[in-house]
Amino acid sequence: MRETKLVCPKCGRADAIRKVTSIVDEGTTYTDSNRLGMSISGDDTQFYTGFGRSVSRTELASSLAPPQKPAQPFRRGWSGIFPNFYWNCAGSFLGLMICGAVGSFFLLFTTYRENPLLIFVPLIIILCAATILLRWAWLSSRRERRKLGEAEAQYPLQVEAWKHALERWEQLYYCQRDDGVFIPAQTQLIPVNQMQAFLYSANKKKR
């Protein structure tokens, strides 16, 4: 059985063809480094060392780099740093308002004694503010949980699509003459700037 010669689907020649994985491997440089750090806590000073790795690629290797694995969903913004951020904010503002109301009671004691009904004004303000702040904290927390839940539900599908894209990427060849990539037996050359979209296009067609 005669072996089929691998040629570029655009120019029909094989002299400028290279495997994409080889180009990326040769054009990628890893640099390992040891880092020294210092932390100060009161009168205590500690030194520590760390190990890091930096990656640099040539322009062509960067253009032909494999698809990146999707990042695992996590809480973003302040709620990611402080788990109960919204509830803490609402409680802090409410606490400040209560302290202000208590302070005003001593400052305006004479006024309240002359007109006792005025004492209900700060109480009503605090109740209204508490209702608004607690509702805001509840709605914001629920919205964050819903977004995180949706992202976690989509994550396995994104990882599966990435695996299929990575498998296709490992089959790619690059034609230096026409600056495009293709999979053997493919009849069309894909421009390098459209490579990522091409890798994921097969998954979209299956859905």
* pLDDT tens-digit readout, 80-111: 555 677 778 888 888 888 887 777 777 777 77
Number of domains in the chain: 2
Q: Based on the fold, state whether residues 100 and 112 are members of the same structural domain.
A: yes
> 206 pLDDT exceeds 90?
no
Q: Is residue 35 part of a domain?
A: no
Predicted pLDDT at 2: 38
Domain that holds residue 180: 12-30+56-64+172-207
Backbone angles phi, psi at 190, to 5 degrees: -100, 125
Average pLDDT taken over every residue of the chain: 80
Q: What is the dihedral of CA 102, 107, 113, 116, to 10 degrees?
A: -40
pLDDT of residue 37 exceeding 70: no
Higher pLDDT, 103 or 12: 12
Same domain, 153 and 197: no
